[in-house]
Amino acid sequence: MSAEPEWVHHAIWWQLYPLGFVGAHPGPGASPDEHRLRRIVSWLDHAIELGASGIALGPVFASAGHGYDTVDHFRIDPRLGDDADFDLLVAEAHGRGLWVQLDGVFNHVGREHPDARAALAAGPGNPGAGFLATEPGPDGPRFATFEGHDALLALDHADPGVEDLVVRVMTHWLDRGADAWRLDAAYAVPPDFWARVLPRVRDRHPDAWFVAEVIHGDYAAFVERSGVDSVTQYELWKAIWSSINDRNFYELEWALRRHDDMMESFVPATFVGNHDVTRIASRIEDPRHLAHAHVLLATLGGTPTIYAGDEYGMHGVKEDRAGGDDAVRPEFPADGPAGLVDGDPAVYRLHQRLIGLRRRHDWLHRATTTTVELSNEQFAFEAGADGHRLLVALNLGDDPLEPDGTAGSPLAADDETSGNAGGAVAPHGWAVWDRGA
């Protein structure tokens, strides 16, 4: 098992995309004197009431557009404010017992980054151009881009100067109070780059946590080769919503075998929504089954993240076009939750119940699963670790489900199941029981 910091055992992240959250992107530019980053402070008590123990921030550094086209890693984006606003946000978060995670874009930079401009001026293959990666072109070497986006120039991760830059950036903001880093597009960076960088950062900040964005491939091998603490569990994310929509729990059960294998060497970062994907309330085709996705996030092993707005059942569809992320990265009221008009209180209460259950059973962080009952539409499994067990039952069908071993009232359940006598899970319902040691 990877030696992640002990505090992560209790971490439940509330993730937000700052530029959208405070209305700084898209749309007309915001000026530094608006200090929009401070609007997030109005939502910190909400994170506490939800049950989260940390806030995971999307990009906050100076960029040309959406935040992932960085032009200065050492400066807060002027549309958000300045260093003082960042320091205030960190102080207010820490004062409430919330950890702070930052989003590090270290695979590529925007074209206006000073080092990128110098490399562009020098030209590929010439002295001074080593900051940027090159690739073969029809007329000779050309500067590489990230997945074909001309505005995103790939860094040369074999250049010692790039390694030094990333170490300095990480250390600078950890010195300023950050507790963790998400490594954006880490899958596009050679794992040995992270293996060189992270020990240098940990020398100064041994309790920092590093989660890598990895979508496809061998997650466990990536963790071993790179030295990160965790990776984003996209396999499980896909299996959760897909198996629910298709009423095919065999897909989920297979994914959980893979997930349990990963748990032998590291704890994955779990989620059902983030700033890059269609919201879970828009993904789940039958509204009766939205709760089932959230139940899985709460009861499976991993370090879970709730994407801001999902706790209110917000909708939003990601589209493959310019501006296609905007629907899943909306502006939130500046004065906090009181100004939110389109939230679903029932979904919010469900999140509070489920997160409360997880916090009372923090051993779930390292839990693995054992199947109890399985069919296309009904699934019951035990989640267990450290001598503790929960029985989780999910029903997508029209017939009741009474899994083997149920006894007494469930710790949590849908309303109809809670009113049943005898332990049966109602059609389209769910329940969680304590199975003890």
In a domain? residue 436: no
Query: What does the buried/exposed string (b/e) look like for 177-197 if buried means 16 or more CB atoms within 10 Å of the residue's CB?
Result: bbbbbbbbbbbbbebebbebb
Whether 43 and 130 map to the same domain: the answer is: no
Number of domains in the chain: 2
Give the separation between CA 104 and CA 73, rounded to whole angstroms.
Answer: 9
Whether 161 and 97 map to the same domain: the answer is: yes
Which token pair is 394? 């999910």
Domain region containing 172: 6-110+157-366
Whether 13 and 142 map to the same domain: the answer is: no
With a cut of 70, list the residues of the chain below it in pLDDT: 1-2, 407, 421
> Exposed (0-12), middle (13-18) or buried (19+): which is 264, by Cβ within 10 Å?
exposed
As a 3-state breakdown, the chain gives helix, strand, coil percent values, each rounded to 5, of 40, 20, 40
In a domain? residue 1: no
Q: Which of 366, 394, 416 is the last residue of a domain?
A: 366
Edge to edge, the sheet with strand 378-385 lists 368-374, 378-385, 388-395, 430-436, 412-413
Give the separation between CA 296 and CA 307, rounded to whole angstroms.
Answer: 15
Whether 186 and 208 map to the same domain: the answer is: yes
In a domain? residue 262: yes
In a domain? residue 390: no
Confidence at residue 421, expressed as pLDDT on a 0 to 100 scale: 65
Whether 131 and 259 map to the same domain: the answer is: no
In a domain? residue 82: yes
Give the separation between CA 313 and CA 52, rounded to whole angstroms.
Answer: 17
Give the separation between CA 315 and CA 398, rounded to whole angstroms.
Answer: 26
Q: Which amino acid is at 51?
A: G
Q: Which of 366, 397, 417 is the last residue of a domain?
A: 366
Confidence at residue 423, expressed as pLDDT on a 0 to 100 scale: 76
Q: Which helix (H) or strand (E) holds 194?
A: helix 191-204
Confidence at residue 27, expressed as pLDDT on a 0 to 100 scale: 81
Confidence at residue 342, expressed as pLDDT on a 0 to 100 scale: 83
What Å distances lie between residue 367 and 244, 269, 405, CA to CA?
A: 22, 13, 19
Whether 291 and 357 map to the same domain: the answer is: yes
Q: Which helix (H) or strand (E) holds 75?
A: strand 70-76
Which token pair is 58? 């999307």
Whether 175 and 301 map to the same domain: the answer is: yes
DSSP bridge partners of 181: 102, 210
Q: Which of 99, 120, 154 is the last residue of a domain?
A: 154
DSSP 345: H
Whether 29 and 164 map to the same domain: the answer is: yes
Whether 125 and 259 map to the same domain: the answer is: no
Q: At how many degrees (to 10) do helices 191-204 and 160-175 cross?
A: 40
In a domain? residue 216: yes
Confidence at residue 419, expressed as pLDDT on a 0 to 100 scale: 80
Confidence at residue 427, expressed as pLDDT on a 0 to 100 scale: 97
In a domain? residue 406: no
Confidence at residue 319, expressed as pLDDT on a 0 to 100 scale: 97
Total number of residues shown for the chain = 437
In a domain? residue 231: yes
DSSP 367: -
The whole-model pTM stands at 0.97
CB 157 within 8 A of CB 167: no
Give the separation between CA 47 and CA 141, rounded to whole angstroms.
Answer: 49
CB 81 within 8 A of CB 32: yes
Q: At 77, which CATH number?
A: 3.20.20.80
Give the separation between CA 433 and CA 412, rounded to whole angstroms.
Answer: 7
Whether 102 and 190 map to the same domain: the answer is: yes
Whether 140 and 196 map to the same domain: the answer is: no
Whether 180 and 265 map to the same domain: the answer is: yes
